[in-house]
């Protein structure tokens, strides 16, 4: 092996150690420390003694499983119809399908309450005209409802890529043998796309299992993530049980992901020829087309309702106990443009850098994993992926503790006082998304292309630069976009790491506005701007991916992917 490989591996490992493993370890140690600093398992024991904790665990499990199921019900038809059929507006639908992911925290929950809540538009109208109301946002099922709407894009994006990569010959063969409709879908297409589906569904499961904001806003405390949060953030009280819960959540999430990876292991999903472009997309019969459009329209209406709510709220003067706002105004946008344009720039800067860092790391890890024999290279992937399960607040406290007092050389500035901390936290938290995209992209580049390049005298570095990276371009861009858009709405680590308002990103600004009566409008307006900025970015990169995809139709993947192992 060349020294460059060792160097690259060491650099990635150093990054992961410094900004993920050590800070998180620094916090987690608290779960195993006695008052005198000695080791104890007593805190772990207390966890299992409590009836409430057992109940919370099973509640979390229930919510995560149900959310994954409902998310699949939303995502599978969207993906199937837009990829395998001649469908007008497929690109638009896929772009809109990503929008729920970029719902800024607080805003989404507030908007959903305004529409589906107990005094939301729907229930007010139902109550007035039909005399009954629906408890959509109540209880654990309310959490499932919101989580499914929020996280189904993970399945949609993965499945889209997986479907596109199925060998068209398989479908043609099935059709020739008289297999049609549901049977074709269930027996041939869905099984071939299973890796993408499982990758997406396991992401949904883990995200929901760890999700804090949704249950808290909906008043559901008896789940693991809220229990951990409530204990870590109680005034003036250091409660080790909060950290114990975090440790247990991490271990469980990693186990869930490992299990899903195992489920796919040992089967071969590869088909020789890749790319849906190789066969003609099928046409729907007129009746089926009407049904499909109606269903997709309904689903889109549902999943975009929070966005409609935010939009209305951002223009609303007063919106209280009525299906629609009393009057509309532009004043909130004026406030935002006057006060907070700096925050938009900050978001673009931090998230851009973080996503850039993520794809650099993602490509490096993917290459080391798939193309070298570096010992323990799989560990880089596992460590990076584990950050999915680390709560933002734990990572942030870890940074503050580990880098306490460290000054940037040559200045008197604290390392923790600069925005670099925020950017690094974003990069670490969103690395798994970019990594999955890069791995999937590299898996689809045939190694013979590199061998060809090296056999005509190109060095390894030159091969990577001129052959591998260009062929991975679609996947890299997809990873960049996913990291970028999800970082743009990160809040939990942001709040703790922001050390000056002038350095604050948009998510912090939205949070800040949403803390006061007069700030709801401007908060929603800033939320709308965040959505627009990110959505435009996503759309543009989709277009770029489509075009790159056409150029490398046979070799490179098309579309956005998260966790796809297609």
Residues between 83 and 142 with contacts to another protein, criterion CB under 8 A: 110, 113-114, 117-120, 139
**Nearer residue to another protein within complex by CB, 252 or 403:** 403
Could you tell me the CA-to-CA distances from 141 to 20, 107, 119, 413, 451 in Å, in that order? Answer: 34, 20, 18, 48, 53
Which part of the chain contacts another protein (CB under 8 A), choosing from 69-77, 164-172, 193-201, 515-523?
515-523
Distance between CA atoms of 469 and 478, rounded to whole angstroms?
Answer: 13
**Nearer residue to another protein within complex by CB, 397 or 558:** 397
Most distant pair of Cα atoms in the chain: their distance: 78
Distance between CA atoms of 110 and 319, rounded to whole angstroms?
Answer: 12
Q: List the one residue from 482, 498, 507, 548 that touches another protein (CB under 8 A).
A: 498
Could you tell me the CA-to-CA distances from 268 to 121, 203, 312, 355, 369 in Å, in that order? Answer: 49, 22, 49, 32, 19
**Nearer residue to another protein within complex by CB, 117 or 432:** 117
What are the b/e assignments for 427-463, b being 16+ CB within 10 Å? bbbbbbbbbbbbbbbbbbbeeeebeebeeeebebeeb
**Nearer residue to another protein within complex by CB, 456 or 517:** 517
**Nearer residue to another protein within complex by CB, 76 or 241:** 241
Which part of the chain contacts another protein (CB under 8 A), choosing from 49-57, 283-291, 483-491, 545-553?
49-57
Q: What angle do CA 231, 233, 239 make, to 5 degrees?
A: 40
Residues 6+ apart with CB under 8 A from 198: 260, 263, 264
Interface positions, 419-438, toward another protein (CB under 8 A): 419-420, 423
Q: How many helices (H) and strands (E) does the chain have?
A: 27, 0
Interface positions, 390-409, toward another protein (CB under 8 A): 397, 400-401, 404-405, 408
To the nearest 10 degrees (0 to 180), the angle between helices 51-84 and 224-232 is: 120
CB of 313 to another protein, least distance (A): 9
Site membership for another protein, residue 25 (CB under 8 A): no
**Nearer residue to another protein within complex by CB, 249 or 524:** 524
Q: List the one residue from 97, 474, 475, 519 that touches another protein (CB under 8 A).
A: 519
**Nearer residue to another protein within complex by CB, 163 or 512:** 512
262, burial (CB in 10 Å: exposed 0-12, middle 13-18, buried 19+): exposed
Cβ–Cβ < 8 Å for 512, 105: no
Alpha helices (H) in 211-239, listed in sequence order: 213-217, 224-232
Binding map of another protein across residues 291-320, x = CB under 8 A, - = no contact: --------------------------xxxx
Distance between CA atoms of 481 and 537, rounded to whole angstroms?
Answer: 8
Cβ–Cβ < 8 Å for 394, 225: no
Q: List the one residue from 1, 17, 34, 180 that touches another protein (CB under 8 A).
A: 34
Interface positions, 317-356, toward another protein (CB under 8 A): 317-322, 339, 353, 356
**Nearer residue to another protein within complex by CB, 108 or 196:** 108
Site membership for another protein, residue 370 (CB under 8 A): no
Q: What angle do CA 413, 12, 459 make, to 5 degrees?
A: 125
Q: List the one residue from 502, 536, 543, 554 that touches another protein (CB under 8 A).
A: 502
Site membership for another protein, residue 4 (CB under 8 A): yes
Site membership for another protein, residue 18 (CB under 8 A): no
Q: List the one residue from 29, 170, 495, 553 that touches another protein (CB under 8 A).
A: 495
Q: List the one residue from 11, 169, 536, 540 that touches another protein (CB under 8 A).
A: 11
CB of 231 to another protein, least distance (A): 9
Neighbours of 515 (CB within 10 A): 10
Distance between CA atoms of 484 and 539, rounded to whole angstroms?
Answer: 13
Distance between CA atoms of 104 and 115, rounded to whole angstroms?
Answer: 17
Site membership for another protein, residue 27 (CB under 8 A): no
Distance between CA atoms of 541 and 52, rounded to whole angstroms?
Answer: 46
Interface positions, 229-288, toward another protein (CB under 8 A): 230, 233-241
Size of site (CB under 8 A) for another protein: 92
Report CA Rg, the chain.
Answer: 24
Q: List the one residue from 25, 89, 219, 375 that touches another protein (CB under 8 A).
A: 219
Site membership for another protein, residue 500 (CB under 8 A): yes
Interface positions, 152-191, toward another protein (CB under 8 A): none
Site membership for another protein, residue 7 (CB under 8 A): yes
Site membership for another protein, residue 52 (CB under 8 A): yes
CB of 519 to another protein, least distance (A): 6
CB of 106 to another protein, least distance (A): 10
Which part of the chain contacts another protein (CB under 8 A), choosing from 78-86, 197-205, 458-466, 539-547?
458-466
Residue 430 has which token pair?
A: 């969103």
Site membership for another protein, residue 457 (CB under 8 A): no
**Nearer residue to another protein within complex by CB, 76 or 397:** 397
């Amino acid at each position: 092996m060349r020294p460059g490989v060792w160097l690259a591996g060491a650099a990635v490992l150093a990054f992961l150690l410094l900004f993920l493993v050590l800070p998180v370890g620094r916090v987690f140690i608290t779960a195993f420390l006695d008052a005198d600093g000695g080791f104890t398992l007593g805190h772990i024991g207390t966890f299992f003694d409590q009836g409430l904790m057992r109940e919370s665990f099973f509640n979390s499990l229930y919510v995560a499983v149900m959310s994954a199921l409902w998310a699949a019900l939303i995502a599978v038809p969207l993906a199937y119809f837009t990829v395998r059929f001649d469908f007008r507006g497929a690109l638009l639908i896929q772009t809109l399908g990503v929008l729920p992911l970029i719902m800024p925290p607080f805003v989404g929950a507030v908007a959903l309450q305004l529409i589906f809540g107990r005094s939301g538009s729907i229930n007010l109208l139902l109550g007035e005209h039909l005399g009954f109301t629906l408890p959509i946002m109540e209880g654990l099922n309310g959490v499932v409802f919101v989580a499914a709407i929020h996280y189904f894009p993970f399945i949609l994006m993965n499945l889209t890529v997986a479907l596109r990569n199925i060998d068209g010959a398989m479908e043609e063969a099935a059709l020739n043998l008289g297999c049609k409709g549901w049977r074709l879908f269930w027996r041939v297409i869905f099984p071939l796309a299973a890796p993408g589906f499982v990758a997406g569904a396991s992401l949904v499961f883990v995200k929901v299992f760890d999700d804090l904001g949704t249950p808290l806003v909906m008043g559901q405390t008896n789940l693991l993530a809220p229990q951990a949060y409530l204990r870590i953030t109680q005034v003036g009280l250091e409660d080790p049980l909060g950290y114990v819960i975090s440790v247990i959540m991490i271990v469980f999430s990693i186990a869930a992901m490992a299990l899903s990876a195992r489920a796919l292991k040992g089967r071969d999903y590869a088909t020789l020829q890749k790319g849906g472009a190789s066969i003609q997309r099928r046409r729907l019969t007129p009746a089926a087309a009407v049904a499909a459009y109606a269903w997709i329209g309904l689903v889109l209406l549902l999943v975009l309702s929070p966005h409609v709510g935010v939009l209305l709220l951002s223009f609303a003067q007063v919106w209280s106990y009525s299906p629609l706002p009393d009057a509309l105004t532009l004043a909130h946008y004026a406030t935002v443009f006057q006060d907070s344009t700096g925050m938009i720039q900050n978001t673009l800067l931090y998230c851009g850098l973080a996503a850039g860092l993520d794809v650099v790391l993602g490509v490096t890890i993917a290459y080391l994993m798939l193309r070298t024999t570096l010992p323990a290279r799989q560990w880089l992937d596992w460590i990076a992926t584990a950050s999915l399960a680390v709560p933002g607040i734990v990572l942030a406290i870890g940074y503050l503790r580990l880098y306490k007092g460290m000054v940037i050389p040559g200045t008197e500035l604290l390392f923790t006082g600069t925005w670099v901390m925020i950017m690094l936290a974003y990069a670490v938290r969103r690395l798994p998304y970019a990594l999955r995209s890069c791995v999937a992209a590299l898996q689809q580049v045939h190694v013979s292309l590199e061998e060809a390049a090296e056999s005509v005298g190109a060095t390894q570095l030159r091969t990577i630069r001129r052959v591998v990276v260009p062929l991975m371009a679609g996947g890299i861009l997809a990873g960049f976009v996913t990291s970028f858009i999800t970082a743009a709405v990160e809040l939990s680590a942001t709040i703790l790491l922001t050390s000056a308002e002038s350095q604050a990103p948009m998510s912090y600004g939205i949070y800040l506005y949403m803390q006061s009566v007069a700030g709801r409008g401007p908060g929603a307006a800033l939320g709308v701007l965040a959505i627009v900025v990110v959505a435009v970015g996503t759309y543009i990169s989709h277009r770029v991916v489509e075009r790159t995809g056409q150029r490398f139709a046979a070799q490179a993947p098309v579309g956005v992917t998260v966790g796809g192992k297609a």
